[in-house]
Structure 1
Amino acid sequence: MRKETGDREAAAVRLAGGAPLRDVLDADDPDSWLALDTAVREGVWHRSRFRPEWERTDPLPADPTRLDEPRLALALCHRDGRIRQEAMRRSPRYPGLLPLIVIRCADWAAPVREHARALLRGTLDVDSAAGLAPLILRVGRRDRGAFGVEVLEEVLSRASHGQLAALLTAPDRVVRRFAYRLAVAGRLLGPAELARAAARDEDTVVQDLCATAALTALRDEEDEEAEAAYEDVLPPLLTARNPRTRSAGVTALRRAGRPERAEPFLGDRSALVRACARYVVRQHGGDPEAWYRKQCTAPDGLASLPGAVIGLAECGNRADAGLLRPFLAHPVPGVRARAVAGLRVLDLADTEQLRPLLDDPAPGVVRETVTALLPSAGKLPADWLLERTGSERPRHVRLAAFRLLDACGGIVALRASVGLLEDPDAKLRTWAGQSVQRWHPSADTRLGDAEVGELLDRSRHLFSDYVLLRRKREAGLNG
């Protein structure tokens, strides 16, 4: 955050010593200004051996020649509102202190706050607003912070597309959201630009905003113009990496009169996109179920369309389980995983049939298998699962076995958890320790079982003496 110090109090002390502002703060980082304000306002001098003379006797000298930028910056953050007020009167001499004026616009003291707001409104222009936007938006989250955001919106509403361009690609997602809202409200971006932004941006709020705005703009076009515009808008939406944007593009195919292009998305990797594709296909008289069944009976298998397997389960019926079961042995891990998920969706996850997949080399397949088997974990052989918690097994197999044993509860869960307290994987050790700590005897736990006492003693380091004694007494042991 700072160029030469990572401590916010040290920055305040260095400023008091006369260090130039640019050497103490990263002026482009809003958090630097907020941290400085907090450090000074919280009374850093009372906790520090260094208490400068200006703080005790003469924060703002009457002689302007003695008033430098570092001292004025500290005065703008001073805990005494009268000093902050006087500092603002002198601050126009130093434009670099405008970020602190922004912070003072949300000041708790009304005179300070009103003076700061008058300064901000009279100073802020399009160029300075672009640089201060991250800080203004952060301060805007505070009580009494809405004024700065209102002024920012007022100033940037007069900006051109080129002047907003830097904010549209800002690393701060809050700034990008704000800039895109302004661009949409001012119609500064065409439908194709909005579609590309929706496909490019990683923030879901920006994705939804731009995709919706792009498609809304097309509805306002004349039929012939909209027809041509769809050719520029749909490709970026349909090829976007994020599912929400792809789903918007797929849904738009209905209005565009191109339902046939929705059919390939029936097998998309995203459930949301698949659902939108089914809607479009059905609206134009298509039969998604027939398409899925055709794909699942194709002689070449589904190496490239694993989404078709789960898609069949999503809109099919229990009779379709016969088409899904062969894919449990498919060479492509994604297809195997979707087959397991499909059988779970159809409520036909057979314990004996899925049990071998707990040893699958693909972690994704094992995760889906665990999810499907958790409701019936008690039907699995505990000793068989316990073998799979051994350190020689792959991590994803050990984790799967532990999750199922933990779901069983009772002595089985305690035995597995204590056994994993020395696992080579740190996360698995942590999860095992948490399982031991929340363990209580279940209804089928035999009271007075010596093994329970032994296991609790092995995990003694996880409990206080009092809690350990309580656990033992719950299990019918004397402690």
Structure 2
Amino acid sequence: MRTTSLRQASPGQLVVLFTDPDRIVRRFAYRLAVDGQLLCPAELVGAAARDQNPVVQDLCATAALTAPRDDESYESVLPPLLSARSPRVRSAGVTALRRAGCSKQAEPFLSDRSALVRACARNVVRQQGGDPAAWYRERCKAPNDPELLPGAVIGLAECGNRAEAGLLRPLLAHPAAGVRARAVAGLRALDCADVKQMRPLLDDPAAEVLRETATALLPSAKELPADRLLERTSSQRPRHVCVGAFRLLDAHGGIVAQRAAVGLLADRDMKLRTWAAQPVQRWRPSPDGRRGDAEVGELLDRSRHLFSDFVLRRRKWEPGVAG
């Protein structure tokens, strides 16, 4: 019934629906406006840049780019698309650069913060005979370049091969946190994350760097010294350092993971306490673990508020701890 009413709406009524809080209503209203050619390219571009819904963004950006050139040229439509905050809208603008005969303008978008936009830019550059990988290498060869953008670093990993690790490793010491973080992500994507080289980053002052480092080191968690990781879960350490160390300890498993999780149950950060409670509740003794370990019983007693009496007795029985 609502759809039938919308189909009968006048242009003035559709304008009101463009700001409706219901995204389904907005999608349908914009689709009717596009089908009826009720909006000029400039209005479509504005809608694509303004609306938060991906369907509306794609619909309006595509309609603006496929509108007859007599109404409005690419020169007036492309700049708002290329400067839009939404990656989907920017990617539509970048893709249209080739049709507009402006392929060269796609190069700066090779280092865009969005992977989608970077991929579209690489496609446009390749179609004009360019080499995106060479473009990235040129920018990443100076490890201390203050103008190096994080997008160029991860872009090199996205279109390169394992040989690019030689350019990415020096960037782990770059002064910009964004560059360091993307260098870690790039090495992980290339399967070149070296445990020894990345361990110092577990104390990095930037949360984004440590987050990427912990993710890269998760498959090698058992190779890391558990006692050093446990030290980093202290409440005296920055929260992001504590979180990163705990992620790795959780992946490490064993009694050391349980020790870290129980210790964090008293942390002042409620989110961290809630997160720590989960591995405590799912912990089980390893088949090759020492039975009757007094520390296991102590840790279970410290976390007894997470279990019923029956479950707590059961958990103590499994590793052979007296209840």
CA drift of 1:304 comes to: 4.8
1:363-402 to 2 correspondences below 5 Å: 363-402=207-246
What secondary structure sits across from 1:422 in the alignment?
A: coil
Shift of 1:465: 1.4
Residue 445 of structure 1 and its aligned partner are, at CA, apart by 2.5
Per-residue deviation, 1:299: 7.6
State the structure with more CA Rg: 1
1:350 correspondence with 2:177? no
Give the counterpart of 1:296 among 140, 146, 151: 140
Q: 1:191 aligns with which of 12, 30, 41?
A: 41
> What residue number does 2:171 align with?
327
The letter for the 2-side match of 1:182 is L
Moved over 4 A (4+): none
For 1:155, the equivalent position in structure 2 comes to: 8
- Quote the sequence identity (%): 72
1:61-109 C-alpha deviation (Å, 9 max, x unpaired): xxxxxxxxxxxxxxxxxxxxxxxxxxxxxxxxxxxxxxxxxxxxxxxxx
Return the letter of the residue paired with 1:357.
L
| Mapped partners of 2:125, 2:159: distance in 1 | 13
Secondary structure of 2:8's counterpart equals helix
Does the CA-based 8 Å contact 1:198-1:210 persist in structure 2? yes
How far has the Cα of 1:302 moved from its partner? 4.9
- The match for 2:60 among 190, 202, 210 is 210
Output the aligned Cα RMSD: 1.6
Alignment of 1:235-384 (within 5 A): 235-298=79-142, 301-384=145-228
CA distance, structure 1, for counterparts of residue 54 and residue 4 of structure 2: 26
Cross-structure match for 1:181: 31
Give yes or no for the alignment of 1:427 onto 2:271.
Answer: yes
Are 2:15 and 1:165 aligned?
yes
Match for residue 76 of structure 1? none
> Letter of the aligned partner of 1:415 in structure 2?
R
Q: Which runs of 5+ in 2 are unaligned?
A: none
Helix, strand or coil at the partner of 1:234: helix
- Residues of 1 paired with 2:171 and 2:227: CA distance? 28
Unmatched tracts of structure 1, length 5 or more = 1-147
Is residue 6–residue 29 contact of structure 2 (8 Å, CA) maintained in 1? no
Take 1:291 and 1:445, find their aligned partners in 2: how far apart are those partners? Answer: 53
Question: Structure 2: how far apart are the matches of 1:302 and 1:285?
Answer: 29
Amino acid at match of 2:229: L
| Cα distance in 2 for residues equivalent to 1:299 and 1:350 | 18
TM-score normalized with structure 1 length: 0.65
In structure 2, give the amino acid aligned to 1:269. R
Cα deviation per residue 1:308-336 (whole Å; 9 max; x = unaligned)?
Answer: 00110111111111111111111111011
Q: What letter matches 2:302 in structure 1?
A: R
The answer as to whether partners of 1:303 and 1:335 remain within 8 angstroms in 2 is no
Q: Is the 8 A contact 1:302 1:335 kept in 2?
A: no
Once the two structures are superposed, residues 329-357 of structure 1 have per-residue CA deviations (whole angstroms, 9 ceiling, x without a partner) of 11111011001101101111111111111
Change in Cα spacing, 1:163 to 1:428, as seen in structure 2 (3 Å) is same
- Specify whether residues 150 and 166 from structure 1 end up closer, same or farther in structure 2 by C-alpha distance, changes over 3 A only: closer
Matched residue, 1:201: 51
2:143 touches 2:170 (CA, 8 Å); kept in 1? no
Larger displacement relative to structure 2 (385-394 or 253-262): 253-262
